[in-house]
Amino acid sequence: MNIQVIIPLVIFLIAIFAIGFIASKQMTSTGGFLQEYFLGGRELGGFVLAMTMVATYGSASSFLGGPGTAYTVGFGWILLAMTQVVTGYFVLLILGKKFAILGRKYNAVTMIDFLKARYNSPAVAILSAIAIIIFLFSAMTAQWVGGGRLIESLTGLQYTTALFIFAISVLVYVTIGGFRAVALTDAVQGAIMVVGTLILLIGVIIAGGGVPAIMQDLLNENPRLVTPFGADGTLTAAYVSSFWILVGVGVVGLPQMAIRAMSYKSSRAMHRALVIGTIVTGFIMLNMHLIGVFARPVMPGIDVGDKVIPLIALEVLPPWLAGIVLAAPMAAIMSTVDSLLLLVSSAIVKDVYLNFIKPEASEKRVKIMSFGVTGILGIIVFLLALQPPDLLIFLNLFAFGGLEAAFIWPIVLGLYWKYGNKHGAILSMITGIASYIAIHFYNASYGNLLGVHTVTIPVVLSLIAYIIGSLAIQRKAFRF
Amino acid sequence: MPAKQTPPDQYKPDPRFKIAHKEALIGVALAIFNFIWWYGFAYGLGSRPPEEYTYILGLPDWFFYSCVVGFILMSVIVIIITKYVLKEVPLDADPYADPNVTPKEESPTK
């Protein structure tokens, strides 16, 4: 247990709490509780919007898993990670103004509100709510395990205690502050990620004796480490390119990203977010993964990928600075789980409870429900994260790819294709999820079908399903 | 055989959508350009044997052009497009408030 590492982390946690309280003070303003709690009153400025998108998207995998894999595989994995630059501008340009305008017109607070208004179908709403609750719930639990493990490895506390600290911090600021607190803390966390990445990169380069020296060490060890094909030559162009769908353009279909495209204040804020988002995403992805590769000659022989970043930070930086830098992966994990927590609770309160169970509920009741559901969800996730059941780990595998395959076409074509209708949307969601799961099993036993990532083929199939469903049954133009 | 839905005078699409559609197409075009740049340099230069690589700022040439220059280039293009091409539109003003357009929907009661 290293006290100098822990102090910066504790200061970081206190700052996050403070932001939650400040945000909760602002909540009494205009616009109604639901808009405020789940959307921050549609008032996000450019910087906060960009950072909340980057921070929500940049999860544990960008800060721990990704660089860890880069450590093992080499430059090929950085090439793969750089496919994420596209998300910085693509999500905002595609959903862009139309999604924001329609969101306001339909008075939508969640992505499901939008789908429900666009397709005028309870079946679409129910199907989406089920998909969101199941998939995001499992994704959230997996991230909590990551958060607990990180605190455990830094502080030497027991896993249970570490997880408890993590859970309490997230729960307090999300439950009290809602979306605005989440977005504001994301902005702080995003800034920490940028600074932390830069400091750590410099530290690693110095420790390795400069970039050319590191390069020479890598070449001496295995020349394939500096090729695009990976240490064992197995990264094919088709496989790496298919990540453009999983972590690039397909991100449009993730509810936690879509919801952010409804929350901005003005088109000026959106424009600023486009620029900041692109630069920050690219910067973090490039440098974080470079750190992973550069760490290899500096600290050879790390077996567990997730430990590369914490270990290298403790190795090359003075302890207090390592504490600040390691707040970055903490920040990434926290800012992902807080958004997911809010999204699952909005799906339950807004999309299920208010739509189907008690539409006439009073403002006060909705308020109590929102706080309550958010809090209870957090506690359930905590309990599950103590000893994650196999089913959750299993579902988590499907979480992001499955959601993308399910939602990308109902959202994108729902916005831009007037003949898209509920039959297409339902067919597309079912095809997307079912084929994703089927191809997952196929790939697990026979190797990747057509050599591409699991998500690729379901995205194509669900597009076909959407078009067939929309045109074959009841072809009718939709008026926006 | 798209059947005519309504007489054209009864339905006017929101004029802001035209801008939105154009900007979405820009997004697609940017992504395609980005992909070609990224793929071209990565596999165009990177497929040589590693002994033939040259190094720029210490990084392998394919990686430098594909990932480092590619990222900087995309950032510059996004900045230029945001500054000169994207249009600012109000997001929640009622488009039917325009006196030249006959209101067809009841204006939102606030």
Q: What is the ipTM of this complex?
A: 0.85
Contacts of A297 in chain B (CB under 8 A): none
Q: Which residue of chain B comes nearest to A278, CA vs CA?
A: B75
Q: How far apart are CA A352 and CA A374, in angstroms?
A: 14
Q: Look at A79 and B23 and tell me if their CB atoms are within 8 Å.
A: no
Q: How close does chain B come to A478, measured CA to CA in Å?
A: 9
Q: Look at B50 and A224 and tell me if their CB atoms are within 8 Å.
A: yes
Q: How far apart are CA B24 and CA B7, in angstroms?
A: 28
Q: Look at B24 and A96 and tell me if their CB atoms are within 8 Å.
A: yes
Q: Which residue has the tokens 């408030």?
A: B97
Contacts of B26 in chain A (CB under 8 A): 93
Q: Which residue of chain A comes nearest to B93, CA vs CA?
A: A101
Residue A449 has pLDDT above 90, yes or no: no
Contacts of A278 in chain B (CB under 8 A): 74-75, 78
Q: Look at A88 and B59 and tell me if their CB atoms are within 8 Å.
A: no
Q: What is the pLDDT of residue A450?
A: 82
Contacts of A231 in chain B (CB under 8 A): none
Residue A128 has pLDDT above 80, yes or no: yes
Q: Look at B35 and A224 and tell me if their CB atoms are within 8 Å.
A: no
Q: How close does chain A come to B92, measured CA to CA in Å?
A: 6
Q: Which two tokens stand for residue B71?
A: 């990222």
Q: How far apart are CA A292 and CA A307, in angstroms?
A: 11
Closest to A226 (Cβ–Cβ): which among B5, B14, B53?
B53
Q: Look at A90 and B31 and tell me if their CB atoms are within 8 Å.
A: yes
Q: Look at A101 and B53 and tell me if their CB atoms are within 8 Å.
A: no
Give the best-scoring range by mean pLDDT among A252-256, A303-307, A426-430, A438-442.
Answer: A426-430
Q: Look at A212 and B55 and tell me if their CB atoms are within 8 Å.
A: yes
Residue A93 has pLDDT above 80, yes or no: yes
Burial of A198 (0-12, 13-18, 19+ CB in 10 A): middle
pLDDT range class, residue A68, cuts 50, 70, 90: confident
Closest to A275 (Cβ–Cβ): which among B68, B70, B79?
B79
Q: What is the pLDDT of residue A162?
A: 83
State pLDDT tens for residues A161-211. 888 888 888 888 777 777 777 788 778 878 888 888 899 999 999 999 999
Q: Look at B58 and A476 and tell me if their CB atoms are within 8 Å.
A: no
Q: Which residue of chain A comes nearest to B87, CA vs CA?
A: A267
Q: What is the pLDDT of residue B40?
A: 93
Q: What is the pLDDT of residue B68?
A: 94
Contacts of A229 in chain B (CB under 8 A): 46
Q: Which two tokens stand for residue A184?
A: 């504001």
Under 8 Å CB-to-CB from A469, ≥6 apart: which residues? A421, A423, A424, A425, A426, A427, A428
Q: Which two tokens stand for residue B74?
A: 């995309």
Q: How close does chain A come to B64, measured CA to CA in Å?
A: 10
Q: How close does chain A come to B100, measured CA to CA in Å?
A: 19
pLDDT by residue for chain B (110 residues), tens digit each?
Answer: 444 444 545 567 788 888 889 999 999 999 999 999 999 999 999 888 888 889 999 899 999 999 999 999 999 999 999 999 888 888 775 545 444 444 444 334 33
Q: Which residue of chain B comes nearest to A227, CA vs CA?
A: B46
Cα atoms in the Cβ-side hemisphere of radius 13 Å centred on A400: 23
Residue A399 has pLDDT above 90, yes or no: no
Single-letter amino acid, residue A318: P
Residue A223 has pLDDT above 50, yes or no: yes
Q: What is the pLDDT of residue A105?
A: 86
Contacts of B79 in chain A (CB under 8 A): 275
Q: Look at A286 and B5 and tell me if their CB atoms are within 8 Å.
A: no
pLDDT range class, residue A60, cuts 50, 70, 90: low
* Distance in Å from the first CA to the final CA of chain A: 59
pTM of this prediction? 0.84
Q: Which residue of chain B comes nearest to A415, CA vs CA?
A: B21
Q: Look at A98 and B17 and tell me if their CB atoms are within 8 Å.
A: yes
Phi, psi torsion values for B55, nearest 5 degrees: -125, 130
DSSP 8-class letter at B101: S
B56 beta partners: B59
At residue B35's C-alpha, the angle toward residues A441 and A244, to 5°, is 25
At residue A197's C-alpha, the angle toward residues A196 and A203, to 5°, is 90
Q: How far apart are CA A112 and CA A365, in angstroms?
A: 21
Percent share of chain A, pLDDT over 90: 18
Contacts of A283 in chain B (CB under 8 A): 71
Q: What is the pLDDT of residue A31?
A: 58
pLDDT range class, residue A392, cuts 50, 70, 90: low
pLDDT range class, residue A429, cuts 50, 70, 90: very high
Closest to A82 (Cβ–Cβ): which among B55, B71, B90?
B71
Closest to A226 (Cβ–Cβ): which among B39, B60, B74?
B60
Q: What is the pLDDT of residue A340?
A: 83
Q: Look at B16 and A210 and tell me if their CB atoms are within 8 Å.
A: no
